[in-house]
């Protein structure tokens, strides 16, 4: 699975696009696998309860999705953390 990350998440991954060796059923599963592979991303993506922050936009193949959305193996997930500045 391919993930494209934006903003401060690039510091956690070292690249704009990363591949995960995961077979997630849902978007939440994919995000959990991403955080496991890149633990430095946790604070930018997840709140204290382990839920995706409301300020994070998640898209699957360019469409806004929620965590319950099915995540096909060939899909591309994009993670957009909140950005500061203007």
Instruction: Count CA atoms closer than 13 A to 34's CA, side-chain side.
Output: 30
Q: Looking at the domain assignment, is residue 16 inside a domain? A: yes
Predicted pLDDT of residue 70: 96
Q: Looking at the domain assignment, is residue 86 inside a domain? A: no
Predicted pLDDT of residue 86: 52
Q: Looking at the domain assignment, is residue 11 inside a domain? A: yes
Q: How many domains does the chain have?
A: 1
Q: Looking at the domain assignment, is residue 85 inside a domain? A: no
Any idea what the CATH number is for the domain that residue 49 is in? 3.10.20.30
Q: Residue 77: is its pLDDT beyond 60? A: yes
Whole-number percent of the chain with pLDDT over 90: 80
Q: Cα Rg for the chain, rounded, in angstroms?
A: 12
Q: What is the pLDDT of residues 22-76, one digit of tens each?
A: 889 999 999 999 999 999 999 999 999 999 999 999 999 999 999 999 999 888 9
Q: Tokens standing for 39? A: 């633990």
Q: Looking at the domain assignment, is residue 25 inside a domain? A: yes
Domain of residue 61: give its range: 2-80
**What residues contact residue 81 under an 8 Å CB cut-off, 6+ apart?**
6, 7, 8, 9, 44, 45, 53, 55, 56
Q: Looking at the domain assignment, is residue 8 inside a domain? A: yes
Give the separation between CA 61 and CA 53, rounded to whole angstroms. Answer: 20
């Amino acid at each position: 699975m391919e993930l494209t990350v934006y903003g401060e998440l690039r510091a956690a991954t070292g690249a704009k696009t990363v591949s995960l060796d995961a077979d997630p059923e849902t978007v939440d599963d994919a995000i959990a696998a991403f955080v496991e592979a890149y633990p430095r991303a946790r604070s930018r993506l997840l709140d204290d309860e382990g839920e995706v922050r409301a300020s994070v936009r998640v898209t699957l193949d360019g469409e806004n999705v929620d965590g319950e959305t099915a995540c096909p193996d060939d899909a591309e997930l994009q993670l957009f953390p909140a950005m500061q500045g203007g």
